């Protein structure tokens, strides 16, 4: 059978044991959604768990904190338990709280302790801007200049990072390292185990931004001795726009007072004693700040139930198959049209999306949307296509690349300006 045919894609779908989960999601009509690495789709279970939390508010009022199927007071910890297998952590090392950037501020405020010669933070020049803004802010809070104290590892090709160069940047003046687990543009996976060992060998603490890896690849944060990590839950974990974030703190650091303390940093047994001296929780819950955003957390309950059923290994296996198939189609069908496959081709180094570069990327993305394919544009010239294991099919991949080829053959992209929209 011709592997570049729709029949071949249909056969792959017939063999896919995860295909049954497609019906769990609300798929946009007559649309191929390939932007789940920016915002995952709504599942029926996430909708149901949100309605259950609303119902507990309706039925119990303030007693919802301790009554109902999901008592609110303990929900952050419950969701941490469900998240732990996705990142390779003990349940007590995870808490669902805050947002990506708030959690980063919390963790840097806790772990960045400049002293003596060690005063600088090591990051990279390809990281998502929000992380860099937070690091610059924290450096200023300590009285240092971000221009001299935030060191960013350079990229040789503008797409990927060389881990040897990251390690070479772990010099005697580095107090803390914050890196992405998966680069948001190219999808490169960094070797977190190797980088953590290298940091610890040099007496440097290290943390990772898991926004583009959690729910897409497996982790072993506890085993690797990663000091901390943080993430959002609205991409591969499908918890909804602006949903609550999460964080990991290795048990080695339990008992420390968080850098940004708040009421929910408390040991729950004494929290309502209302003392003016904080007794922090003896687990990752100490790194909460304020009251949990219950309506933001609620969809994650239903979403994580599906992850618990399937397991991250099976999801990763299908994700690799989907992206491998997409890459094969790109090479075969789009070779003549100026696209550059800019993500790592090795499976072990590639996250959950395919990254193409083209000088007309913005207009191509607009043409794709106009023809029923939802991609993701990344300035200046990047197109991200993320086939999600839970709800995308091999036929989705086949049709998306067929539509992209038609757009290039017929030059449909020329009907659109090659500039990004307000939200890209």
Known binding positions: 100-101, 128-131, 209, 212, 234, 263, 291
CB atoms within 10 A of CB 60: 15
Q: Residues within the annotated binding site for pyridoxal 5'-phosphate?
A: 100-101, 128-131, 209, 212, 234, 263, 291
Q: Which residues pair with 189 in a beta bridge?
A: 182
CB atoms within 10 A of CB 63: 12
Residue whose C-alpha is closest to residue 41's, from 49, 30, 33:
33
For residue 120, the surrounding DSSP H or E stretch is strand 120-124
CA distance 372 to 386: 15
**Burial class of residue 7 (count of CB atoms within 10 Å of its CB; 0-12, 13-18, 19+):** exposed
CB atoms within 10 A of CB 265: 22
The Cα-based distances of 401 to 4, 282, 374 in angstroms read 10, 51, 12
Cα angle value 28/129/373 (rounded, 5°): 20
Cα angle value 318/321/323 (rounded, 5°): 110
CA distance 199 to 171: 10
**DSSP helix/strand/coil, 235:** coil
Q: Nearest 10 degrees: CA dihedral of 332, 334, 338, 341?
A: -60
Rounded to the nearest 5 percent, the helix, strand and coil shares of the chain are 45, 15, 40
**26, 46 contact by CB (below 8 A):** no
**DSSP helix/strand/coil, 311:** coil
Cα angle value 305/311/317 (rounded, 5°): 135
**Burial class of residue 5 (count of CB atoms within 10 Å of its CB; 0-12, 13-18, 19+):** exposed
**Burial class of residue 132 (count of CB atoms within 10 Å of its CB; 0-12, 13-18, 19+):** middle
Distant-in-sequence, close-in-space partners of 96: CB < 8 Å, separation ≥ 6: 75, 76, 79, 80, 83, 233, 244, 245, 246, 292, 297, 300
């Amino acid at each position: 059978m011709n592997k570049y045919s729709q029949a071949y894609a249909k056969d792959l779908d017939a063999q896919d044991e995860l295909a049954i989960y497609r019906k769990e999601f609300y798929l946009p009509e007559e649309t191929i959604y390939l932007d789940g690495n920016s915002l995952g789709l709504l599942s029926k279970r996430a909708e149901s768990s949100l309605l259950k939390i609303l119902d507990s508010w309706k039925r119990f009022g303030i007693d919802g904190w301790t009554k109902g199927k999901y008592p609110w007071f303990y929900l952050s910890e419950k969701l941490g338990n469900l998240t732990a297998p996705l990142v390779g952590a003990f349940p007590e090392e995870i808490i669902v709280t805050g947002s990506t950037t708030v959690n980063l501020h919390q963790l840097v405020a806790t772990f960045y302790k400049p002293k003596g010669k060690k005063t600088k933070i090591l990051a990279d020049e390809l990281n998502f801007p929000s992380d860099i803004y937070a690091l610059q802010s924290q450096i200023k809070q300590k009285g240092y200049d971000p221009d001299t104290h935030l060191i960013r590892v350079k990229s040789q090709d503008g797409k990927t990072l060389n881990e040897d160069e990251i390690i070479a940047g772990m010099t005697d003046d580095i107090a803390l390292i914050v890196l992405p687990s998966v680069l948001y543009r190219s999808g490169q996976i960094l070797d977190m185990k190797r980088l953590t060992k290298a940091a610890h060998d040099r007496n440097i603490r290290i943390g990772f931004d898991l926004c583009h890896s959690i729910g897409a690849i497996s982790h072993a944060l506890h085993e690797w001795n990663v000091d901390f990590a943080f993430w959002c839950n609205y991409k591969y974990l499908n918890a909804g726009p602006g949903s609550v974030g999460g964080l990991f703190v290795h048990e080695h650091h339990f008992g420390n007072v968080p850098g940004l303390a708040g009421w929910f940093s408390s040991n729950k047994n004494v929290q309502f004693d209302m003392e003016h001296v904080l007794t922090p929780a003896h687990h990752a819950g100490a790194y909460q700040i304020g009251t949990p955003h219950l309506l933001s957390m609620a969809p994650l309950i239903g979403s994580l139930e599906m992850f618990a059923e399937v397991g991250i290994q099976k999801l990763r296996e299908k994700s690799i198959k989907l992206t491998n198939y997409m890459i094969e189609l790109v090479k075969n069908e789009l070779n003549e049209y100026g696209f550059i496959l800019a993500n790592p081709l090795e499976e072990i180094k590639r996250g959950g999306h395919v990254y193409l570069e083209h000088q007309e990327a913005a207009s191509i993305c607009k043409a794709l949307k106009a023809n029923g394919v939802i991609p993701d544009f990344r300035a200046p010239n990047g197109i991200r296509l993320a086939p999600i294991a839970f709800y995308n099919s091999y036929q989705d991949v086949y049709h998306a690349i067929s539509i992209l080829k038609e757009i290039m053959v017929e030059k449909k992209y020329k009907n659109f300006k090659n500039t990004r929209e307000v939200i890209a």
